[in-house]
Amino acid sequence: MSRTSDHELISLILNEATANKGFRLLVSQYQEQLYWQVRKMVVVHDDADDVLQNVFIKIFKGIKNFNGDSKLSTWMYRIAYNESVTFLTKKGKTLQISSQELQDHLTEKLEADVYFTSDEIELALKKALAQLPDRQREVFNYRYYDDLKFKDIATILDLSEGAVKSTYHIAAKKVEQFIKVN
Amino acid sequence: MKNNNQHTQAGFKVPEGYFDSLTDRVLENTQKDEIVEHAGFSVPKDYFSTLEDRILTLVQEDKKDVKVVTLQTSKNNTWLYPLLAMAAIFIGFVTINGLFSTDEVTFADLNDQELRDYIVDINFLQDEESMEILYADNSILNETEIKLEFTDNELLNYLMEDATLDQIIRE
């Protein structure tokens, strides 16, 4: 199926007569990218599904205000990022644990998760990522798994490009070190 | 020519039309069994194929839930807003003060326990306002009898039991 350009998608959505068709196309084109982004942050599939639904509702409500300063995908990534952070904060409060403890808790659950590969390398990598501060883990995920440009990561996380680059290199070093030691 | 269901190979037979639909069925099964994976994570079977419909249904429901009522902007109603504002102020005033309230709460209405709880709760005497209240009525100080003379024994007992070295230095 041919891919509809972001510009066309926005035009379709903003026209009341074609809004549903446009939004259907948008969901179909971006659902996987956004799902994996959310999943890497919240870890559990059911949680990722809940967050993703909220993300699309926010996108639908907010797309009229999308001003085109960044790419559509970057704008949606940012919404997904904010929703995931909000979800994790609420979850941490509910469980009455810190952000670091929450990451450890989620990583522990991974080993029993039927929707996680039994690949030892992936599990080791997830354990290494759980040790990183939130910001370093987020930057690492975007760069390593999603192959996003530093510039786009900077827009999503509201950081400077230089800060993103140095954060990534520090995170990568820490991950390497953790895997060597463990 | 042999019938479709009569193809034989080493004595085996296949159902009629078996080979005609085989390609489609194999492809269908291949797609079904394809595991969608990313960064070690996977999703339940058919998750993405049903996600689009679920999200669109949700968005439609969300749209229905939010009903925007347009405010009347007709010029005929311009007198209405000052009237509504006055009504709101009146209701606010009545809510805060009561319609014909003449009850005045006095200090004597408070019982000791309430007063004690209040002082503990608000950390009394920590702000300027509280200090002013304390010194507003000097009769309290005037009526208090302050003993200026102490015997040696009383002073000794005080120093031994109550005063700390720090207090003595400060005094």
pLDDT digits (tens, 9 = 90+) for A134-161: 999 999 999 999 999 999 999 999 999 9
Is there a contact between B41 and A117 if contact means CB atoms under 8 Å apart?
yes
Asked if the model's pLDDT at residue A21 lies above 50, the reply is: yes
> What was the pLDDT predicted at B156?
77
Decide if B80 touches A, using CB distance below 8 A: no
Interface with A, mutate which of B34, B37, B41 (most A CBs under 10 A): B41
Please indicate if any CB of chain B lies within 8 Å of the CB of A178: no
The answer on A123 and A112 residing in a single domain is no
Q: Are residues A27 and A103 in the same domain?
A: yes
Same domain, A53 and A104: yes
Domain co-membership, A85 together with A11: yes
Q: Chain A to chain B, count of Cβ pairs less than 8 Å apart?
A: 66
What sign has the CA pseudo-torsion A112, A116, A118, A121? negative
ipTM: 0.77
CATH label of the domain that carries residue A94: 1.10.1740.10
Same domain, A75 and A140: no
Residues of A in contact with B62 (CB under 8 A): 57, 60-61
Q: Which of A62, A81, A116 is the last residue before a domain boundary?
A: A116
Residue A38 tokens, joined:
């959310």
Shared domain for A24 and A103, answered yes or no, is yes
Same domain? For A10 and A40 the reply is yes
In this complex, do B41 and A39 lie within 8 Å of one another by their Cβ atoms?
Answer: yes
B9 φ/ψ angles, rounded to the nearest 5 degrees: -140, 115
Q: pLDDT tens-digit profile of A81-132?
A: 999 999 999 999 999 899 889 988 888 888 888 888 878 888 889 999 999 9
Please tell me whether residues A68 and A129 are part of one structural domain.
no
Structure tokens at B150: 């102490």
Domain boundary among A91, A116, A141: A116
**Average pLDDT value over all residues in chain B:** 67
CB contact under 8 A, B62 and A60: yes
A62 in the same domain as A15: yes
Q: Which helix (H) or strand (E) holds A109?
A: helix A99-110
The domain total for chain A is 2
Nearest residue of A to residue B66, measured between CA atoms: A61
How close B55 gets to chain A, by Cα (Å)? 6
Does the pLDDT of residue B109 top 60, yes or no?
A: yes
Instruction: For residue A134, give its domain range.
Output: 119-182
Residues A73, A153, single domain; the answer is: no
Report the CATH number at residue A133: 1.10.10.10
